[in-house]
């Protein structure tokens, strides 16, 4: 019963609300906030990642809908040829339990762009002209590089001579092209920074890119489960034209407004808000929510890793045949890139959010605890091992009353290391919708905004220092108590 109450405290149960997702770029964040603002009783899980993660989240029920584009649905999700309309798209989505509805009123296509003076100097106006300049340096986003309606298809359609470049975050690419580090980047045609950075959008003279009309991609049961919210969302149909979307994007990217503030500008009566600053973002209304989410991620996973890691360390020291197997396994887990492990767990569990994040953090916490438990027990001298035999203690009593207390300083050092590592690794959990300080870091990357980045990174660093300091104080107290008892 106590454990049940504890779990409810950690994961409180709420009445069902509409769960809205969004991708990891400015426009998607803003549209997610627009949807939540319009629906009323809804929650936003922002910056969940690329198309594949969002679709998996929809299928599993982790989210109920998110803003998407018809071209992406047709080419990336359904693998349809041509340029199908909304009716054809919906017919193909039905077997997946999904639907697309409520065209918002604007088209946001992919395109390639160059700095105006660079394009003018080389006489480049269209995508076809790029083939004449194989020395150009491209900087393309990770998703664009992997999509069939992105770089692979574009390169084949225009017979472009470039090798696939390394992926570059969309927000950072603007700074790179402005600094002359790259010549060509992929853009969204409603990006607010196109005009600011004086970019020339290259003409798609072979009409490779389809229409990317903004719509709501949703689970088919949403209208029945949330009839009131769904009725409200229909009012968004045709309400956002291309210039309006550019204006909202500019509010977030150029004027320093939060995504929620930018979304509020869709209502002409929305009040003016102050510019985004570091202190304003740092102590924003989401600070305590993000702090709580980060603490849950760190300490719930740490508790699980202690419960599993210490016994594994004991087994690895006692059963020599299993030593290399156990230590090797936890070592291999530590070498897996965090995002790769998150992606694997999402596919395995069919869910996003806290559960896969906790499992990943639990796995990453094992190595220091298992190794330090093994090292602590292995370092006990032969005399100390034989002394309890004279007292008639059995193996279990020797381990519990003598060996583990002697190895405790080493075990605590491993737990401290795991806790500190967990604080930093937990920031990556925001990429799968688990919240925490990483949510600000992801937003800051999307906006290329240092204030937002630091408002996530600095609290995480401070928390890591606090955790390390708390463990060191605990170790000193333990050492002092042990000396008092010995005397």
- Assigned token pair, 353: 């959010």
Same domain (yes/no): 366, 224: no
Task: Please indicate, yes or no, whether residues 417 and 447 belong to a single structural domain of this protein.
Answer: yes
Check if the beta carbon of residue 292 is closer than 8 Å to that of residue 300: no
Q: What is the mean pLDDT of residues 72-91?
A: 91
Q: What is the pLDDT of residues 318-354, one digit of tens each?
A: 898 999 999 999 999 988 888 788 878 877 887 778 8
Are 373 and 442 members of one domain?
A: yes
Of the listed ranges 13-27, 328-342, 392-406, 435-449, the least confidently predicted one is 392-406
CATH number of the domain that 152 lies in? 3.40.190.120
Lowest mean pLDDT among 9-23, 124-138, 147-161, 394-408: 9-23
What CA–CA distance (Å, rounded) separates 308 from 314?
10
Provide the CATH number for the domain around residue 389: 1.10.3720.10
Indicate whether 132 and 98 sit together in one domain: no
Range of the domain at 65: 15-107+212-275
Domain assignment present for residue 401? The answer is: yes
Whole-number pLDDT of residue 11: 46
- CA–CA separation, 380 and 364 (whole Å): 27
Whether residues 415 and 403 share a domain: the answer is: yes
DSSP character for 167? B
Dihedral through CA 64, CA 8, CA 415, CA 459, nearest 10? 60
Average the pLDDT over 125-140 and give the result: 94
> Beta strands 42-45 and 18-21: pairing type?
parallel
* Contact (Cβ atoms closer than 8 angstroms) between residue 437 and residue 456: yes
Count how many domains the chain has: 3
First and final C-alpha spacing in the chain: 42
Separation CA 123–CA 202 (nearest Å): 11
| 250 and 297 within one domain | no
Assess whether 265 and 316 both reside in one domain: no
Q: Would you say the pTM of this structure is higher than 0.85?
A: no
Of 275, 299, 329, the one marking the end of a domain is: 275
Domain-located, residue 46: yes
Place of tokens 């156990």: 326
Residue 58 placed within a domain: yes
Please indicate, yes or no, if residue 207 is contained in any of the structural domains.
no
Q: Which of 230, 254, 275 is the last residue of a domain?
A: 275
Same domain, 91 and 116: no
Do residues 446 and 364 share a domain?
yes
Residue 1 domain flag: no
Q: Is residue 331 one of the residues assigned to a domain? A: yes
Kindly tell me if the per-residue pLDDT of 9 is higher than 50.
no
Q: Which residues make Cβ contacts (< 8 Å) with residue 406, sequence separation at least 6?
A: 376, 380, 384
Task: Indicate if 328 and 359 belong to the same structural domain.
Answer: yes
CA distances from 303 to 170, 292, 340, 469 (A): 37, 16, 23, 18
Inter-residue contact 362 to 304 (CB < 8 Å): yes
The answer as to whether 3 is a domain residue is: no
Q: Closest Cα to residue 207, out of 110, 347, 318, 291?
A: 110
Residue 76 and residue 55: Cα distance in Å, rounded? Answer: 11
Q: Report if residue 115 sits inside a domain.
A: yes
Burial of 231 (0-12, 13-18, 19+ CB in 10 A): exposed
Give the model confidence (pLDDT) of 17-54 as tens digits. 999 999 988 999 999 999 999 998 899 988 887 888 88
């Amino acid at each position: 019963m106590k454990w049940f109450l504890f779990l409810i405290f950690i994961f409180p149960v709420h009445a069902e609300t509409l769960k809205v997702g969004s991708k990891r770029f400015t426009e998607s964040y803003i549209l997610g906030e627009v949807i939540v603002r319009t629906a009323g009783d809804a929650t936003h899980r922002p910056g969940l990642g690329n198309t594949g993660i969002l679709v998996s989240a929809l299928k599993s029920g982790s989210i109920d809908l998110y803003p998407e584009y018809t071209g992406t649905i047709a080419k990336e999700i359904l693998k349809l040829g041509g340029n199908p309309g909304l009716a054809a798209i919906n017919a193909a989505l039905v077997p997946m339990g999904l639907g697309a509805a409520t065209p918002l009123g604007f088209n946001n296509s992919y395109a390639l762009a160059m700095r105006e003076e660079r394009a003018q100097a080389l006489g480049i106006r269209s995508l076809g002209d790029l083939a004449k300049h194989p020395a150009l340096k491209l900087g393309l986003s990770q998703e664009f590089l992997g999509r069939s309606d992105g770089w692979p298809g574009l390169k084949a359609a225009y017979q472009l001579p470039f090798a696939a470049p390394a992926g570059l975050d969309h927000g950072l690419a603007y700074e790179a092209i402005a600094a002359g580090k790259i010549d060509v980047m992929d853009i969204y045609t409603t990006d607010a920074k196109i005009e600011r950075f004086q970019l020339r959008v290259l003409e798609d003279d072979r009409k490779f890119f389809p229409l990317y009309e903004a719509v709501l991609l949703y689970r088919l049961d949403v209208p029945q489960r949330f009839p009131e919210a769904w009725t409200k969302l229909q009012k968004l149909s045709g309400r956002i034209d291309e210039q309006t979307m550019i204006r909202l994007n500019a509010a977030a990217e150029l004027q320093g407004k939060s995504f929620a503030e930018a979304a509020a500008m869709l209502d002409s009566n929305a009040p003016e808000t102050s510019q985004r600053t570091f202190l304003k973002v740092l102590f924003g209304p989401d600070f305590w929510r993000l702090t709580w989410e980060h603490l849950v991620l760190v300490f719930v996973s740490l508790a699980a890793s202690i419960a599993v890691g210490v016994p594994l360390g004991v087994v690895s020291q006692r059963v020599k045949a299993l030593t290399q197997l156990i230590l090797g396994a936890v070592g291999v887990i530590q070498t897996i890139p965090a995002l790769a492990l998150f992606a694997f767990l999402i596919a395995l569990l069919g869910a996003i959010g806290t559960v896969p994040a906790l499992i990943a953090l639990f796995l990453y916490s094992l190595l220091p605890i298992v190794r330090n438990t093994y090292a602590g027990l292995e370092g006990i001298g032969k005399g100390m091992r034989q002394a309890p035999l004279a007292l008639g203690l059995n193996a279990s009593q020797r381990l519990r009353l003598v060996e583990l207390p002697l190895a405790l300083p080493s075990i605590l050092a491993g737990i401290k290391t795991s806790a500190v590592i967990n604080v930093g690794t937990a920031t990556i959990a925001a990429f799968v919708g688990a919240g925490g300080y990483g949510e600000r870091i992801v937003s800051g990357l999307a906006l290329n905004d240092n204030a937002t980045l630091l408002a996530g990174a600095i609290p995480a660093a401070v928390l890591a220092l606090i955790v390390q300091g708390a463990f060191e104080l605990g170790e000193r107290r333990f050492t002092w108590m042990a000396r008092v008892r010995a005397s």
